[in-house]
Structure 1
Amino acid sequence: MPASRNPNDDTSAPSGAGRLPAWLQWGLVGCLSLFTTVPLEIAGFPAALLMGPMLAGIFVALAGGTIRLPRIFFFFVQVVLALMIATMVSQDFVGTFTENWLLMMFVVLSVIGMSTFSGWMIARTGLLPGTTAIWGSSPGAASTMLMMAEAYGADARLVAFMQYLRVVFVASVATLVAHFGGHDGAVIPPHAWFEPVPMLPLAAMLVIGVTAGLVGQKLRIPAGAFLLPFALAAVLNSSGTVTIELPQWLLVIAFTLLGWNIGLGFTRAILMHARRALLPTVVSILALISFSGLLAGLLILVLGVDPLTAYLSTSPGGLDSIAVIAASSNVDIAFVMTLQTARLVLVTLIGPWLARFVADRS
């Protein structure tokens, strides 16, 4: 079986920032990240440590940059984020779901249905093949949707463009909603990043998380590098078996790497490849975000949850970026992650059948 093509591959001659050595490109990304992150952090925006590096990555990528975050670092990011969210979950996931399963299933299926309809509409225009439009519109974890799309013969570059463009839109809108809705998280001064934490429990938890993440990948569990460490750590932490305490500097590194991973995916090659589909993709993303806002209103009316918790719960991906924004704001983490996880599982289970079904009729 031939190796799958990297959606970020660009066989054209490098230009602009791409002419610089890799270490200089990384230095440029790092310097720009300071200029984009510090103002957001001072202004009190939630997830500034994610959004700033993401903007810097986009700028360097569009300037011709050729660097990409190695997969091993993205694996590390997923494990650290899983442990971080596990420390904040105070309510049992299964209990949260069973208490409101009917409404939650309606919300999850509605988001999947709306995203599928958007993909079908784009496919009907003839700008994109059916399976590519469907996978690109699927509201799951972007990295998981990309891997599944490649396995089912979709254009990986276009799927990557559609998925990560939606992540940028959703993360930006969620951050703005959190900030102007009065849900800013506490701004942690840099000197607090290096406050000491017990190293032995930290090392043990990281070993457990990495092992669980590797098992999740080996078993081909969707987003297994995130979900399996998260589930295991949540059980251990809530039962009092292990007390998880992550140093701030580790979280800063993880947020920064995640932002770079998203931003550096917006290469000139992908944008040129997807330029015909740019307008319909943006329109479909805005429609999906608006529809998710209506579903959030339903959750507010029926369950009485706060607006930001409802909005983050219904936001159409990505799972990791929504987790960072939720952790940086004063919301019900358990509720947000229950709905986000349920949607990812359902998309993974019915996604292949749904993509083929819609593509055949588009």
Structure 2
Amino acid sequence: MSNLHVVFPIITVFLVALLGVSIFSLLSFPMPWMLGSLFGVLLSQFLLKVPYQWPVSFRNIGLAIVGTAIGQLFTLELLLLIRHSLIFILILNIFLCIFSIFLAFIIHRVTKISLPTAITASIPGGISQLVVFAEEQKNLDVTVITFFHIVRVISVVGFIPFIVSITNQTNTAVTIETPDYLYNLFIIFLGFLVIPIGKKLRLPVPYFLTPVILGLLLSFTPLEPVAMNDSFLHIAQLTIGAYIGLMLKSQSLHLKKSILISGVLSALLLITLTFGIAEIMVCLYDMDFKTSFLSTAPGGMDQMGLIATAVHADATQVTVFQLFRMLFIYVVILPILKWYFTKE
């Protein structure tokens, strides 16, 4: 009975996620394996009075598969081509952070939450790292910060595939050999073997970034890159989609109405802003809209990389842009915020 008590909530999430995938597939919605599982789990948990559980290890498996798929596209030549965009990436991130802080001042005035809480809730970084940062600081409302970042993740992952799916522009992604099931298994296995190294090096999102780096290193070997089998990518999308769908808990909806509305509006504002920036990038660089939008969108590196592989954008460009933002926030912005909060 005890084993059934543990397994039943996981099976429930899996079946609900599959039902969501089926509905989204029938409706011909983009990325049914991710969006179907995400919205299926997200909505049903408020309707069904049964326990839900989705181990983080399942999400990590999905991240490793996506990281491996993107790593197959990485080469030193591609990184050298992207170096011409570094100044633009730096200016972009400074601008986004300034806009986020300006937005935080408005949220602070409207919702009456503390300014440090509003700033931490508004910075477009990875949810896990920023929540951990909030927990380490004094006088920050972790519940509010978690809600804002969860809403942003769900908004970005939920809306952006629909936006990019309506664009018919071609992309500049690298074409590689036909999928090979056994070779895919071998590369995924290698990716899992090196993940402990990424953890020891304290890489951001090690389950995703370590296999990406492995792919870059393998490009110096005689091994030919092979496209990831769709079955593996579907597994990755379902495991990550179900995990994101479970992020928003019912207790989060008990926050003040002004906070709930501000969380949704701030996410939509950031998406709108990055949409405009993406259009500018299309004009300035030899980049299709899908790639430019996913590169600038206020989502996590892992989630944007996953969407890029699904909609056939240039996942390497997207990953580099998102990685640079993550490093900029963690190396520059968070230390500044920590210094500022200690002076409050």
Alignment partner for residue 166 of structure 1, among 148, 152, 167?
152
Cα 1:149–1:225 change in 2 (3 A) is farther
Post-superposition CA distance 1:12-40 (Å, at most 9, x none): xxxxxxxx955444444333323322243
- Aligned-pair CA distance for 1:360: 7.4
Post-superposition CA distance 1:157-200 (Å, at most 9, x none): 33222112111111222111122223699xxxxxxxxx99453x
Q: Pick which of 136-145 and 87-96 moved more.
A: 87-96
The equivalent of 1:114 in structure 2 is: 99
Q: Report the Cα distance in structure 1 between the residues aligned to 2:189 and 2:94, rounded to whole angstroms.
A: 36
Normalising by structure 2, report the TM-score: 0.84
Q: Report the Cα distance in structure 1 between the residues aligned to 2:256 and 2:54, rounded to whole angstroms.
A: 22
Post-superposition CA distance 1:220-254 (Å, at most 9, x none): 22222222221122331465446455443332222
Whether the aligned pair in 2 keeps the contact of 1:54 and 1:262 (CA below 8 Å) is: yes
The equivalent of 2:84 in structure 1 is: 99
Alignment of 1:86-235 (within 5 A): 86-89=71-74, 92=77, 94-153=79-138, 154-182=140-168, 197=180, 199=182, 201-235=183-217
Q: Report the Cα distance in structure 2 between the residues aligned to 1:350 and 1:97, rounded to whole angstroms.
A: 21
Cα 1:181–1:39 change in 2 (3 A) is farther
Whether the aligned pair in 2 keeps the contact of 1:130 and 1:360 (CA below 8 Å) is: no
Q: Give the aligned length.
A: 333
Normalising by structure 1, report the TM-score: 0.80
Alignment of 1:40-119 (within 5 A): 40-63=24-47, 66-89=51-74, 92=77, 94-119=79-104
What are structure 2's unaligned runs of at least 5 residues? 172-177
Q: Does 1:266 align with 2:266?
A: no
Post-superposition CA distance 1:15-68 (Å, at most 9, x none): xxxxx9554444443333233222433454432211111001212333355433
Q: Pick which of 275-284 and 233-242 moved more.
A: 233-242
Q: Pick which of 281-290 and 352-361 moved more.
A: 352-361
Q: Pick which of 297-306 and 125-134 moved more.
A: 125-134
Q: Pick which of 264-273 and 238-247 moved more.
A: 238-247
1:251 corresponds to which letter in structure 2? L
Cα 1:140–1:106 change in 2 (3 A) is same
Q: Report the Cα distance in structure 2 between the residues aligned to 1:359 and 1:122, rounded to whole angstroms.
A: 17
The equivalent of 1:8 in structure 2 is: none
Q: Report the Cα distance in structure 1 between the residues aligned to 2:18 and 2:204, rounded to whole angstroms.
A: 33
1:157 corresponds to which letter in structure 2? T
Whether the aligned pair in 2 keeps the contact of 1:29 and 1:57 (CA below 8 Å) is: yes
Q: Pick which of 252-261 and 88-97 moved more.
A: 88-97
Whether the aligned pair in 1 keeps the contact of 2:305 and 2:319 (CA below 8 Å) is: yes
- Aligned-pair CA distance for 1:276: 4.4
- Tell me the SS of whatever aligns to 1:88: coil
Q: Report the Cα distance in structure 2 between the residues aligned to 1:107 and 1:167, rounded to whole angstroms.
A: 20
Post-superposition CA distance 1:108-156 (Å, at most 9, x none): 2222222233233323445433333223222122223223332334433
- Tell me the SS of whatever aligns to 1:69: coil
1:294 corresponds to which letter in structure 2? G
Q: Report the Cα distance in structure 2 between the residues aligned to 1:175 and 1:270, rounded to whole angstroms.
A: 25
- Tell me the SS of whatever aligns to 2:247: coil
Post-superposition CA distance 1:183-218 (Å, at most 9, x none): 699xxxxxxxxx99453x445433431233222223
2:291 corresponds to which letter in structure 1? T
Whether the aligned pair in 2 keeps the contact of 1:184 and 1:328 (CA below 8 Å) is: no
Whether the aligned pair in 1 keeps the contact of 2:73 and 2:225 (CA below 8 Å) is: no
CA RMSD of aligned residues (A): 3.0
1:87 corresponds to which letter in structure 2? Q
Whether the aligned pair in 1 keeps the contact of 2:66 and 2:306 (CA below 8 Å) is: yes
The equivalent of 2:174 in structure 1 is: none
Cα 1:38–1:144 change in 2 (3 A) is same
The equivalent of 1:345 in structure 2 is: 327
Q: Report the Cα distance in structure 2 between the residues aligned to 1:29 and 1:243, rounded to whole angstroms.
A: 34
Whether the aligned pair in 2 keeps the contact of 1:299 and 1:310 (CA below 8 Å) is: yes
Q: Does 1:355 align with 2:337?
A: yes
2:142 corresponds to which letter in structure 1? A
Cα 1:92–1:272 change in 2 (3 A) is farther
Q: Report the Cα distance in structure 1 between the residues aligned to 2:110 and 2:203, rounded to whole angstroms.
A: 34
The equivalent of 1:7 in structure 2 is: none
